[in-house]
């Protein structure tokens, strides 16, 4: 067994960090456009709201009859206010403020995402 | 032969129990970031891999995933599929690296690679479960926290194995 922090170890860690920092910078670059809308993807539907016009709170139902999620739209930001899941990761993700950012509640089957104009289109271009 | 088997069985049992205790402790403890886990349970899996080989590590990992899921009430839920699938994927990566690159990598490197694979698998499985949602924007933060937790669990595993070998020097080196 080698002692910690061999050249190989550093190469693995540096490789992973480089990839993540690279993607992070690329995402920042791509998300310079201002936030124009938010989508909430439920199990069977996709709700689209224009920002900042749609400011306010909206309620969506979680999958499997878990309960309801409340989502707050405020100016050009959005967040999950309450959710029926156990770990509450979606709530603790906090405010989404840049185009392309997502908050996910896996047990509820709900994804909240911010969109901008043009520049972050690559995000949906990949999946549609 | 019987003694050797008994030794492996005892080790897997003890390490699986350790993995479960760490896993449960971590489920209850507050997280540094919402999506970040330190993966302390993985320390026991890594120790099993280094001390007793791939089959023992698989045993410890499966017991941790199944019994851990049962105890936290997540069994058969989506979060169970995500963490279980990611756990298996990261173990496979660690086994392959341990066998192919043990001359180049210490437990820290193996653990970092396993943690990175764990994080990417989680996103992949969640993306499939949620149906074509692009969740890859989360990848950089997941990976950076994975490197941090991978270094930590790798260090703990290294010192644990080092100490365990001092206690039972008769163990054939792997």
Which pair of structure tokens corresponds to residue B94? 């660690």
Q: Out of B102, B104, B158, whose CB is closest to A4?
A: B158
DSSP notation for B53-67:
-HHHHHHHHHHHHHH
The candidate with the shortest Cα–Cα distance to B107, out of A88, A75, A6, is A6
Chain A residues with CB-CB distance to B129 below 8 A? 106, 109
Residue A122 has pLDDT above 50, yes or no: no
CA–CA min distance A125, chain B (Å): 10
The proportion of chain A whose per-residue pLDDT surpasses 90, expressed as a percent, equals: 44
d(C-alpha A105, C-alpha A86), whole Å:
10
Radius of gyration of chain A (CA): 18
Render A53-85 in DSSP notation, one character per residue. Answer: TT-EEEEEEPGGG--EEEEEEETTEEEEEE-S-
* pLDDT single digits (tens) B53-88: 999 999 999 999 999 999 888 787 888 899 899 999
- Is B112–A17 a contact, with Cβ atoms under 8 angstroms apart? no
Query: How would residue A124 be classed by pLDDT, with cut points 50, 70 and 90?
Result: very low
Strands ordered across the beta sheet of A110-116: A46-50, A35-41, A110-116, A102-105
State residue A32's pLDDT score. 61
Q: Tell me which chain B residues have a C-beta less than 8 angstroms from the C-beta of A127.
A: 132-134
**Are A99 and A31 within 8 A, CB to CB?**
yes
B74: chain A residues, CB-CB within 8 Å:
86
pLDDT tens per residue across span B121-134: 999 999 888 876 67
CA distance B77 to B129: 11
User: Which residues touch A1 (CB under 8 Å, ≥6 apart)?
Assistant: B50, B102, B106, B107, B158, B161, B162
Q: How many distinct helices (H) and strands (E) make up chain B?
A: 6, 0
The whole-number average pLDDT for the span B120-149 is: 88
User: In b/e form, how buried is each residue of B25-42, taking b as 16+ CB within 10 angstroms?
Assistant: ebbeeeeeeebbbbbbbb
Query: What residues contact B130, with CB distance under 8 A and at least 6 apart?
Result: A41, A104, A106, A109, A111
Looking at A49-53, B57-61, B165-169, which range is the least confident one?
A: B165-169
**pLDDT greater than 60 at residue A119:** no
pLDDT of A123 reads: 45
Q: How confident is the model at residue A115 (pLDDT cuts 50, 70, 90)?
A: confident
Output the pLDDT for position B111. Answer: 97
- Is the full-model pTM beyond 0.90? no
Dihedral sign, Cα of residue A49, residue A52, residue A53, residue A58: positive
d(CA B98, CA B81): 25
Q: Tell me, what's the ipTM?
A: 0.86
pLDDT at A44 over 60: yes
pLDDT score recorded for residue B132: 60
Q: Scanning every residue of chain A, which has its alpha carbon at the shortest distance from the alpha carbon of B73?
A: A86
pLDDT at B87: 94
The C-alpha of A107 sits at a distance from chain B's nearest C-alpha, in angstroms, of 6
Over range B6-12, report the average pLDDT: 89
């Amino acid at each position: 067994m080698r002692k910690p922090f061999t050249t190989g170890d550093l190469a693995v860690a540096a490789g992973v960090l480089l990839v993540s920092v690279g993607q992070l910078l690329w995402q920042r670059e791509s998300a310079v456009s201002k936030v124009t809308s938010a989508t909430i993807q439920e199990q069977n539907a996709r709700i689209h709201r224009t920002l900042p016009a749609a400011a306010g709170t909206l309620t969506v139902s979680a999958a499997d009859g878990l309960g309801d999620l409340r989502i707050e739209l405020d100016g050009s930001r959005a967040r999950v206010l309450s959710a029926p899941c156990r770990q509450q990761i979606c709530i603790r993700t906090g405010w989404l403020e840049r185009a392309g950012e997502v908050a996910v509640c896996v047990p509820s089957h709900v994804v909240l995402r911010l969109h901008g104009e043009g520049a972050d289109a690559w995000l949906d271009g990949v999946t549609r | 032969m019987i003694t050797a088997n008994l030794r492996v069985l005892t080790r897997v049992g003890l390490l699986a129990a350790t993995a479960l205790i760490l896993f449960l402790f971590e489920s209850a403890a507050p997280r540094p970031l919402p999506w970040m886990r330190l993966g302390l349970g993985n320390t026991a899996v890594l120790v099993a891999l280094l001390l007793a080989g791939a089959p023992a590590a698989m045993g410890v990992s499966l017991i941790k995933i199944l019994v851990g899921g049962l105890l936290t009430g997540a069994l058969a839920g989506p979060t169970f599929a995500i963490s279980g699938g990611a756990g298996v994927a990261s173990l496979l990566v660690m086994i392959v690296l341990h066998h192919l690159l043990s001359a180049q990598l210490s437990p820290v490197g193996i653990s970092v690679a396993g943690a990175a694979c764990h994080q990417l698998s989680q996103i992949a499985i969640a993306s499939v479960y949620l149906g074509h949602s692009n969740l890859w924007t989360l990848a950089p933060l997941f990976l950076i926290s994975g490197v941090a937790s991978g270094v930590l669990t790798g260090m703990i595993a290294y010192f644990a194995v080092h100490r365990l070998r001092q206690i039972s020097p008769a163990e054939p080196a792997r």
